[in-house]
Structure 1
Amino acid sequence: MKYPVLIILTLGFFSASLTACVPARPPADISAADPDLAQLRKDQQQLAQQVEQNRNNLLLLEAKVRDQQSLIGDLRSELATKKVTPSREIATSTRPVIAPSIVPTIVDSQNASPTDIYLQAFSDYAAGRFEQAIKGFETFLQLHAGSDYAGNAQYWLGECFYSQQQYARAVEEFQRTVERYPQGSKTPDALLKMASALTQLGQADRADEALQILRSRYPDSPAARKPLGSN
Structure 2
Amino acid sequence: MRIRVLVCACSAMLCISGCGANDLMVKRQTEIEARMEQLIQRYASADARLAEMSGELKDVQAQVRQNSADLQEVKPLLSEMKSAVDVVRQKPLETQQPSSTALPPSRIEVINGEAAPPDSASKIQDLYMKAFGLYSANEYQKAIEAFEAFIGTHPESEYAGNARYWIGECFYTQKDFRSALESFRRVIAEYPKGNKVPDAMLKLGLTQINLNEPVRARETLLGLVERYPKSQAAAKARERLGKR
| TM-score normalised according to structure 1 size | 0.56
- Deviation readout 1:30-78 (Å, 9 max, x if unpaired): xxxxxxxxxxxxxxxxxxxxxxxxxxxx999887666544411343367
- Deviation readout 1:61-115 (Å, 9 max, x if unpaired): 88766654441134336777999xx94535xxxxxxxxxxxxxxxxxxxxxx221
Q: Is residue 231 of structure 2 the alignment partner of residue 225 of structure 1?
A: no
- What is the SS of the residue equivalent to 2:156? coil
- What is the SS of the residue equivalent to 2:151? helix
Residue 177 of structure 2, aligned match among 163, 167, 172: 167
Match of 2:203 in 1: 193
Quote the sequence identity (%). 34
CA distance in 2, matches of 1:132, 1:161: 12
Match of 2:153 in 1: 143
> Which one has the largest radius of gyration?
2
CA distance in 1, matches of 2:156, 2:125: 13
- What is the SS of the residue equivalent to 1:183? coil
Match of 2:81 in 1: 75
CA distance in 1, matches of 2:195, 2:187: 10
Q: Is residue 89 of structure 2 the alignment partner of residue 89 of structure 1?
A: no
Note closer, same or farther for the CA distance 1:199–1:164 as it changes in structure 2 (3 Å cut): same
- Deviation readout 1:178-198 (Å, 9 max, x if unpaired): 000001001110000000000
Match of 1:206 in 2: 216
Match of 2:5 in 1: none
CA distance in 1, matches of 2:199, 2:152: 22
Counterpart amino acid of residue 161 in structure 2: G
CA distance in 2, matches of 1:224, 1:71: 14
CA-CA distance at 1:219 after TM superposition: 2.5
CA distance in 2, matches of 1:127, 1:169: 21
Note closer, same or farther for the CA distance 1:188–1:159 as it changes in structure 2 (3 Å cut): same
Moved more, 205-214 or 119-128: 205-214
Counterpart amino acid of residue 82 in structure 2: R
CA distance in 1, matches of 2:237, 2:183: 18
| TM-score normalised according to structure 2 size | 0.53
Aligned partners of 1:196 and 1:229 also within 8 Å? no
Note closer, same or farther for the CA distance 1:212–1:135 as it changes in structure 2 (3 Å cut): same
Over the aligned positions, Cα root-mean-square deviation in angstroms equals: 4.7
Gaps of 5+ in 2: 1-63, 91-117, 240-244
Aligned partners of 2:224 and 2:237 also within 8 Å? no
- What is the SS of the residue equivalent to 1:227? helix
Note closer, same or farther for the CA distance 1:183–1:80 as it changes in structure 2 (3 Å cut): farther
Match of 1:176 in 2: 186
Write 1 or 2 for the structure with the bigger share of helix. 2
Match of 1:20 in 2: none
Match of 2:135 in 1: 125
Aligned partners of 1:195 and 1:207 also within 8 Å? yes
Note closer, same or farther for the CA distance 1:141–1:205 as it changes in structure 2 (3 Å cut): same
Residue 115 of structure 1, aligned match among 125, 130, 137: 125
